Amino acid sequence: MTPVAQARVDLGALRHNLARARVEAPRARVMAIIKADAYGHGMVRVARALHDADAFGVARLEEALSLREAGVTQPIVLLEGVLDAAQLSAAAHRDVSLVVHHAAQAELIEHAAENMPPVKIWLKLDSGMHRLGFSPAEIPPIAQRLRHSKKVIGPLRFMTHLACADERSDPATLRQIEVFQSALTGIEGERSIANSAGILGWPQTHADWVRPGIMLYGVSPFPDDDAEAQDLRPVMTLSSRLIALRQNKKGDAIGYGGSYICPRDMLVGVAAIGYGDGYPRHAQTGTPVLVNGRRAPLIGRVSMDMITVDLSAQPEAKAGDPVVLWGEGLAVEEVARCASTISYELLCGVARRVTFNES
Protein backbone atom coordinates (compact mmCIF):
# COMPACT_ATOMS: atom_id res chain seq x y z
CA MET A 1 0.00 0.00 0.00
CA THR A 2 1.45 3.37 -1.00
CA PRO A 3 0.50 6.21 1.31
CA VAL A 4 -1.31 8.99 -0.52
CA ALA A 5 0.37 12.09 0.90
CA GLN A 6 4.13 11.68 1.01
CA ALA A 7 7.20 13.78 1.65
CA ARG A 8 10.31 12.38 0.05
CA VAL A 9 13.58 13.62 1.53
CA ASP A 10 16.47 13.52 -0.93
CA LEU A 11 19.57 12.93 1.18
CA GLY A 12 21.90 13.29 -1.81
CA ALA A 13 20.51 16.79 -2.42
CA LEU A 14 20.99 17.58 1.27
CA ARG A 15 24.66 16.59 1.12
CA HIS A 16 25.11 18.51 -2.11
CA ASN A 17 23.74 21.64 -0.41
CA LEU A 18 26.09 21.23 2.56
CA ALA A 19 28.96 20.96 0.08
CA ARG A 20 27.73 24.22 -1.48
CA ALA A 21 28.11 25.94 1.88
CA ARG A 22 31.68 24.66 2.10
CA VAL A 23 32.50 25.87 -1.40
CA GLU A 24 31.13 29.33 -0.63
CA ALA A 25 32.92 29.61 2.72
CA PRO A 26 36.00 27.41 2.25
CA ARG A 27 37.85 28.55 5.36
CA ALA A 28 34.93 28.32 7.77
CA ARG A 29 33.67 25.39 9.75
CA VAL A 30 30.02 24.51 9.33
CA MET A 31 27.40 24.38 12.06
CA ALA A 32 24.46 22.78 10.23
CA ILE A 33 21.22 24.23 11.60
CA ILE A 34 18.69 21.47 12.14
CA LYS A 35 16.23 23.11 14.55
CA ALA A 36 12.47 22.61 14.16
CA ASP A 37 12.92 19.00 13.12
CA ALA A 38 15.47 20.08 10.52
CA TYR A 39 13.02 22.58 9.01
CA GLY A 40 10.45 19.79 8.84
CA HIS A 41 12.71 17.23 7.14
CA GLY A 42 13.32 14.97 10.18
CA MET A 43 16.13 16.01 12.53
CA VAL A 44 17.76 12.65 13.18
CA ARG A 45 17.58 11.62 9.52
CA VAL A 46 19.22 14.90 8.51
CA ALA A 47 21.90 14.73 11.23
CA ARG A 48 22.86 11.23 10.09
CA ALA A 49 23.02 12.28 6.44
CA LEU A 50 25.16 15.30 7.33
CA HIS A 51 27.60 13.36 9.50
CA ASP A 52 30.52 15.41 8.21
CA ALA A 53 29.10 18.72 9.48
CA ASP A 54 31.46 20.20 12.09
CA ALA A 55 28.59 20.82 14.51
CA PHE A 56 24.82 20.94 14.67
CA GLY A 57 22.72 23.87 15.83
CA VAL A 58 19.29 23.44 17.43
CA ALA A 59 16.94 25.84 19.20
CA ARG A 60 15.61 23.78 22.11
CA LEU A 61 17.07 21.48 24.70
CA GLU A 62 14.64 18.67 23.77
CA GLU A 63 16.06 18.74 20.25
CA ALA A 64 19.63 18.49 21.49
CA LEU A 65 18.79 15.62 23.83
CA SER A 66 17.00 13.62 21.18
CA LEU A 67 20.03 13.95 18.92
CA ARG A 68 22.24 12.55 21.70
CA GLU A 69 19.62 9.85 22.33
CA ALA A 70 19.89 8.89 18.65
CA GLY A 71 23.65 8.50 18.98
CA VAL A 72 24.77 11.75 17.38
CA THR A 73 28.28 12.46 18.69
CA GLN A 74 29.19 15.72 16.94
CA PRO A 75 29.20 19.00 18.86
CA ILE A 76 25.64 20.29 19.35
CA VAL A 77 24.99 23.96 20.01
CA LEU A 78 21.84 25.05 21.80
CA LEU A 79 21.11 28.35 20.06
CA GLU A 80 18.68 29.67 22.68
CA GLY A 81 20.71 28.41 25.61
CA VAL A 82 19.09 27.24 28.86
CA LEU A 83 16.44 28.71 31.12
CA ASP A 84 16.98 27.04 34.50
CA ALA A 85 19.33 24.83 36.50
CA ALA A 86 17.64 21.59 35.45
CA GLN A 87 18.05 22.41 31.77
CA LEU A 88 21.64 23.45 32.36
CA SER A 89 22.46 20.21 34.11
CA ALA A 90 20.78 18.10 31.40
CA ALA A 91 22.72 19.95 28.70
CA ALA A 92 26.02 19.68 30.58
CA HIS A 93 25.64 15.95 31.15
CA ARG A 94 25.05 15.39 27.43
CA ASP A 95 27.90 17.64 26.32
CA VAL A 96 25.60 20.14 24.66
CA SER A 97 27.30 23.51 24.02
CA LEU A 98 25.33 26.54 25.12
CA VAL A 99 24.72 29.93 23.65
CA VAL A 100 24.73 32.48 26.45
CA HIS A 101 22.77 35.56 25.44
CA HIS A 102 21.55 36.90 28.77
CA ALA A 103 23.09 37.67 32.16
CA ALA A 104 20.78 35.24 33.95
CA GLN A 105 22.23 32.38 31.91
CA ALA A 106 25.76 33.33 32.93
CA GLU A 107 24.69 33.35 36.57
CA LEU A 108 23.11 29.92 36.26
CA ILE A 109 26.39 28.57 34.96
CA GLU A 110 28.49 30.30 37.64
CA HIS A 111 26.25 28.92 40.38
CA ALA A 112 25.93 25.41 38.96
CA ALA A 113 26.23 22.42 41.22
CA GLU A 114 29.73 21.26 42.14
CA ASN A 115 29.28 17.90 40.39
CA MET A 116 28.01 19.33 37.09
CA PRO A 117 30.43 18.81 34.19
CA PRO A 118 31.69 22.14 32.78
CA VAL A 119 30.03 23.47 29.62
CA LYS A 120 31.28 24.90 26.33
CA ILE A 121 30.00 28.34 25.50
CA TRP A 122 29.15 30.60 22.61
CA LEU A 123 28.58 34.19 23.75
CA LYS A 124 25.95 35.95 21.71
CA LEU A 125 26.26 39.59 20.83
CA ASP A 126 23.36 41.72 19.72
CA SER A 127 24.76 43.58 16.72
CA GLY A 128 21.46 45.12 15.68
CA MET A 129 18.71 42.53 15.46
CA HIS A 130 17.60 43.40 19.00
CA ARG A 131 16.21 40.00 19.80
CA LEU A 132 18.85 38.02 21.71
CA GLY A 133 22.33 38.88 22.86
CA PHE A 134 24.54 41.15 24.93
CA SER A 135 25.22 44.71 23.92
CA PRO A 136 28.78 45.49 22.80
CA ALA A 137 29.56 47.15 26.14
CA GLU A 138 28.43 44.09 28.11
CA ILE A 139 30.64 41.68 26.18
CA PRO A 140 34.10 42.27 27.74
CA PRO A 141 32.98 41.90 31.39
CA ILE A 142 30.77 38.88 30.71
CA ALA A 143 33.53 37.21 28.69
CA GLN A 144 35.97 37.87 31.49
CA ARG A 145 33.65 36.35 34.09
CA LEU A 146 32.89 33.23 32.08
CA ARG A 147 36.54 32.66 31.24
CA HIS A 148 37.22 32.49 34.94
CA SER A 149 34.33 30.23 35.83
CA LYS A 150 35.25 26.65 36.73
CA LYS A 151 31.96 25.62 35.14
CA VAL A 152 33.14 26.69 31.67
CA ILE A 153 35.48 24.55 29.60
CA GLY A 154 37.30 25.32 26.37
CA PRO A 155 37.80 28.66 24.67
CA LEU A 156 34.89 31.10 24.52
CA ARG A 157 33.38 31.55 21.10
CA PHE A 158 31.37 34.51 19.84
CA MET A 159 28.38 34.80 17.57
CA THR A 160 25.77 37.20 16.31
CA HIS A 161 22.77 36.86 14.01
CA LEU A 162 21.94 38.90 10.90
CA ALA A 163 18.49 40.45 10.58
CA CYS A 164 18.45 41.61 6.96
CA ALA A 165 21.06 39.60 5.05
CA ASP A 166 18.46 38.33 2.57
CA GLU A 167 18.27 41.89 1.20
CA ARG A 168 21.54 42.14 -0.69
CA SER A 169 21.66 45.91 -0.72
CA ASP A 170 20.46 46.56 2.83
CA PRO A 171 23.16 48.54 4.69
CA ALA A 172 21.94 47.06 8.00
CA THR A 173 24.14 44.00 7.40
CA LEU A 174 27.28 46.12 7.01
CA ARG A 175 26.39 47.94 10.21
CA GLN A 176 25.93 44.63 12.04
CA ILE A 177 29.31 43.35 10.86
CA GLU A 178 30.95 46.58 12.00
CA VAL A 179 29.29 46.47 15.44
CA PHE A 180 30.28 42.81 15.94
CA GLN A 181 33.89 43.31 14.88
CA SER A 182 34.49 46.43 16.86
CA ALA A 183 32.86 44.98 20.00
CA LEU A 184 35.28 42.05 19.82
CA THR A 185 38.45 43.99 19.06
CA GLY A 186 41.20 42.61 21.26
CA ILE A 187 39.04 39.70 22.46
CA GLU A 188 40.19 36.25 21.45
CA GLY A 189 37.92 33.49 20.30
CA GLU A 190 36.32 31.99 17.23
CA ARG A 191 33.55 34.00 15.61
CA SER A 192 30.35 33.21 13.74
CA ILE A 193 28.01 35.59 11.91
CA ALA A 194 26.60 34.02 8.76
CA ASN A 195 23.26 32.30 8.20
CA SER A 196 22.45 31.05 4.67
CA ALA A 197 22.02 34.55 3.29
CA GLY A 198 25.36 35.57 4.81
CA ILE A 199 27.08 32.53 3.30
CA LEU A 200 25.72 33.13 -0.19
CA GLY A 201 25.56 36.90 -0.29
CA TRP A 202 28.02 38.42 2.18
CA PRO A 203 31.49 36.82 2.06
CA GLN A 204 32.75 39.25 4.71
CA THR A 205 30.48 37.47 7.23
CA HIS A 206 32.07 34.03 6.84
CA ALA A 207 34.47 34.28 9.81
CA ASP A 208 35.44 31.01 11.60
CA TRP A 209 32.07 29.28 11.55
CA VAL A 210 29.06 29.55 9.25
CA ARG A 211 25.54 28.50 10.23
CA PRO A 212 23.57 27.37 7.16
CA GLY A 213 19.91 26.55 7.65
CA ILE A 214 17.48 27.02 4.80
CA MET A 215 20.11 26.56 2.06
CA LEU A 216 20.78 23.02 3.30
CA TYR A 217 17.21 22.19 2.40
CA GLY A 218 17.68 23.52 -1.13
CA VAL A 219 15.95 26.84 -0.74
CA SER A 220 17.36 30.23 -1.67
CA PRO A 221 17.34 32.70 1.22
CA PHE A 222 16.95 35.59 -1.24
CA PRO A 223 13.48 36.72 -2.32
CA ASP A 224 14.76 37.77 -5.75
CA ASP A 225 16.91 34.78 -6.59
CA ASP A 226 15.83 31.16 -6.93
CA ALA A 227 17.58 28.06 -5.63
CA GLU A 228 18.72 26.93 -9.06
CA ALA A 229 20.68 30.15 -9.51
CA GLN A 230 22.51 29.26 -6.27
CA ASP A 231 23.03 25.65 -7.39
CA LEU A 232 20.93 24.38 -4.49
CA ARG A 233 18.84 21.24 -4.91
CA PRO A 234 15.40 20.87 -3.32
CA VAL A 235 15.46 18.28 -0.56
CA MET A 236 11.77 17.78 0.23
CA THR A 237 9.23 16.83 -2.40
CA LEU A 238 5.67 16.87 -1.09
CA SER A 239 3.33 14.83 -3.22
CA SER A 240 -0.10 13.24 -3.28
CA ARG A 241 -2.54 11.91 -5.84
CA LEU A 242 -5.74 12.76 -7.61
CA ILE A 243 -8.70 11.07 -5.96
CA ALA A 244 -11.50 12.36 -8.21
CA LEU A 245 -12.16 14.25 -11.40
CA ARG A 246 -15.32 15.93 -12.54
CA GLN A 247 -16.51 17.86 -15.51
CA ASN A 248 -17.91 21.09 -14.06
CA LYS A 249 -20.22 23.47 -15.86
CA LYS A 250 -19.70 27.14 -16.45
CA GLY A 251 -21.02 28.98 -13.36
CA ASP A 252 -20.47 26.08 -10.91
CA ALA A 253 -19.10 27.28 -7.57
CA ILE A 254 -16.35 25.06 -6.20
CA GLY A 255 -15.53 24.19 -2.61
CA TYR A 256 -16.08 26.00 0.70
CA GLY A 257 -17.61 29.40 0.38
CA GLY A 258 -18.12 28.81 -3.33
CA SER A 259 -15.35 31.32 -3.82
CA TYR A 260 -14.32 29.99 -7.23
CA ILE A 261 -16.91 30.14 -10.02
CA CYS A 262 -16.05 28.15 -13.15
CA PRO A 263 -15.64 30.65 -16.00
CA ARG A 264 -16.44 27.91 -18.54
CA ASP A 265 -17.13 24.20 -18.64
CA MET A 266 -13.98 22.66 -17.23
CA LEU A 267 -12.39 19.49 -15.92
CA VAL A 268 -11.56 19.81 -12.21
CA GLY A 269 -9.35 17.40 -10.30
CA VAL A 270 -9.44 16.78 -6.56
CA ALA A 271 -6.08 16.01 -4.95
CA ALA A 272 -5.66 14.46 -1.50
CA ILE A 273 -3.70 17.18 0.25
CA GLY A 274 -4.92 20.03 2.44
CA TYR A 275 -4.10 22.23 5.37
CA GLY A 276 -4.37 19.13 7.59
CA ASP A 277 -1.18 18.01 5.86
CA GLY A 278 0.48 21.39 6.12
CA TYR A 279 -0.41 22.65 2.67
CA PRO A 280 -1.05 26.39 3.17
CA ARG A 281 -4.72 27.30 3.50
CA HIS A 282 -3.96 30.73 2.09
CA ALA A 283 -2.58 29.41 -1.21
CA GLN A 284 -4.55 31.45 -3.67
CA THR A 285 -6.29 30.46 -6.89
CA GLY A 286 -3.55 30.09 -9.49
CA THR A 287 -0.97 28.57 -7.15
CA PRO A 288 0.82 25.97 -9.30
CA VAL A 289 0.83 22.24 -8.59
CA LEU A 290 2.29 19.54 -10.83
CA VAL A 291 -0.14 16.94 -12.11
CA ASN A 292 1.69 14.20 -13.98
CA GLY A 293 4.68 16.51 -13.96
CA ARG A 294 2.81 19.37 -15.65
CA ARG A 295 1.79 22.62 -14.06
CA ALA A 296 -1.87 23.08 -13.26
CA PRO A 297 -3.45 25.91 -11.25
CA LEU A 298 -5.10 25.44 -7.87
CA ILE A 299 -8.65 26.80 -7.83
CA GLY A 300 -10.92 27.69 -4.91
CA ARG A 301 -10.23 27.28 -1.22
CA VAL A 302 -7.85 24.76 0.29
CA SER A 303 -9.78 22.28 2.50
CA MET A 304 -8.39 20.24 5.37
CA ASP A 305 -7.84 17.11 3.27
CA MET A 306 -8.23 18.22 -0.34
CA ILE A 307 -7.53 20.83 -2.96
CA THR A 308 -9.16 21.38 -6.34
CA VAL A 309 -7.17 21.90 -9.51
CA ASP A 310 -8.06 23.15 -12.99
CA LEU A 311 -7.27 20.26 -15.35
CA SER A 312 -8.59 21.88 -18.53
CA ALA A 313 -5.19 21.34 -20.11
CA GLN A 314 -5.04 17.65 -19.12
CA PRO A 315 -8.19 15.88 -20.34
CA GLU A 316 -6.44 12.51 -20.04
CA ALA A 317 -5.78 12.87 -16.26
CA LYS A 318 -7.32 10.18 -14.05
CA ALA A 319 -7.78 9.24 -10.40
CA GLY A 320 -4.52 7.98 -8.91
CA ASP A 321 -2.31 10.28 -10.96
CA PRO A 322 0.60 11.88 -9.07
CA VAL A 323 0.43 15.46 -7.85
CA VAL A 324 3.49 17.36 -6.61
CA LEU A 325 2.83 20.28 -4.29
CA TRP A 326 6.45 21.43 -4.06
CA GLY A 327 9.99 20.15 -4.42
CA GLU A 328 11.41 18.50 -7.51
CA GLY A 329 10.16 20.53 -10.47
CA LEU A 330 8.25 23.11 -8.43
CA ALA A 331 10.11 25.43 -6.10
CA VAL A 332 8.66 25.76 -2.61
CA GLU A 333 9.60 29.46 -2.86
CA GLU A 334 7.02 29.91 -5.61
CA VAL A 335 4.29 28.19 -3.62
CA ALA A 336 5.21 30.28 -0.57
CA ARG A 337 4.83 33.49 -2.57
CA CYS A 338 1.39 32.37 -3.78
CA ALA A 339 0.39 31.78 -0.15
CA SER A 340 1.86 35.04 1.19
CA THR A 341 4.36 33.22 3.36
CA ILE A 342 7.97 32.03 3.28
CA SER A 343 9.40 28.62 2.41
CA TYR A 344 10.66 28.16 5.97
CA GLU A 345 7.08 28.12 7.24
CA LEU A 346 5.84 25.68 4.59
CA LEU A 347 8.68 23.22 5.18
CA CYS A 348 8.38 23.36 8.98
CA GLY A 349 4.62 22.93 8.79
CA VAL A 350 4.29 19.56 7.05
CA ALA A 351 2.00 17.56 9.32
CA ARG A 352 2.67 14.20 10.93
CA ARG A 353 -0.13 12.67 8.88
CA VAL A 354 2.17 12.86 5.84
CA THR A 355 4.35 9.77 5.36
CA PHE A 356 8.04 10.61 5.13
CA ASN A 357 10.49 8.52 3.20
CA GLU A 358 14.03 9.13 2.02
CA SER A 359 16.03 8.52 -1.10
Ligand X SMILES: *Cc1c(COP(=O)(O)O)cnc(C)c1O
Instruction: Enumerate the active-site residues.
Output: 35, 256
Phi, psi of 36 (to 5 degrees): 50, 55
Of 350, 326, 355, 321, residue with least CA distance to 235:
326
22 binds ligand X (CB under 6 A): no
Q: Can residue 157 be called a binding residue for ligand X (CB under 6 A)? A: no
Measured between alpha carbons, how far is 68 from 70 in angstroms, rounded to an integer? 5
210, amino acid identity:
V
- What part of residues 46-105 is at the interface with ligand X (CB under 6 A)? 79
From candidates 81, 213, 234, 300, binder to ligand X by CB under 6 A:
213
**160 binds ligand X, rule: CB under 6 A:** no
Which one among 211, 233, 241, 301 touches ligand X, defined by CB under 6 A? 211
User: Alpha-carbon distance 151 to 113, whole Å?
Assistant: 9
Nearest by Cα to 34 from 16, 12, 13, 18? 18
Which of 97, 127, 173, 195 contacts ligand X by CB under 6 A?
195
Nearer Cβ to ligand X (214/299) = 214
Binder among 45, 120, 161, 206 for ligand X (CB under 6 A): 161
List 196, 205, 287, 308, residue binding ligand X (CB under 6 A): 196
Q: Does 280 bind ligand X (CB under 6 A)?
A: no
Backbone angles phi, psi at 227, to 5 degrees: -65, -35
Of 16-24, 207-215, 243-251, 314-322, the segment contacting ligand X by CB under 6 A is 207-215
Rule CB under 6 A: say whether 33 interacts with ligand X.
Answer: yes
Residue nearest to ligand X (CB): 213
Smaller CB distance to ligand X: residue 44 or 163? 163
What secondary structure letter does DSSP report for 216? Answer: G
Main-chain phi, psi angles of 87, to 5 degrees: -65, -40
Stretch that binds ligand X, among 114-122, 206-214, 224-232, 261-269 (CB under 6 A): 206-214
Strand segments, DSSP code E, in the chain are: 6-9, 29-33, 55-58, 76-78, 96-100, 121-124, 157-159, 191-192, 209-210, 236-248, 253-254, 260-261, 266-271, 288-291, 294-299, 307-310, 322-326, 355-358
Stretch that binds ligand X, among 3-11, 137-145, 212-220, 287-295 (CB under 6 A): 212-220
- Burial classification of residue 15, based on how many CB atoms lie within 10 Å of its CB (0-12 exposed, 13-18 middle, 19 or more buried): middle
Instruction: Decide if residue 123 touches ligand X (CB under 6 A).
Output: no
What is the closest distance, in whole angstroms, from the C-beta atom of residue 217 to ligand X in the complex? 8
- SS3 at position 210: strand
Cβ partners under 8 Å of residue 208, min gap 6 = 28, 29, 157, 190, 191, 192
Contact between 173 and ligand X per CB under 6 A: no
Among 42, 81, 218, 221, binds ligand X (CB under 6 A): 221
How many residues line the site for ligand X (CB under 6 A)?
A: 12
Check residue 214 for interaction with ligand X (CB under 6 A).
yes
Contact residues for ligand X, defined by CB under 6 A: 33, 35, 79, 161, 195-196, 211-215, 221
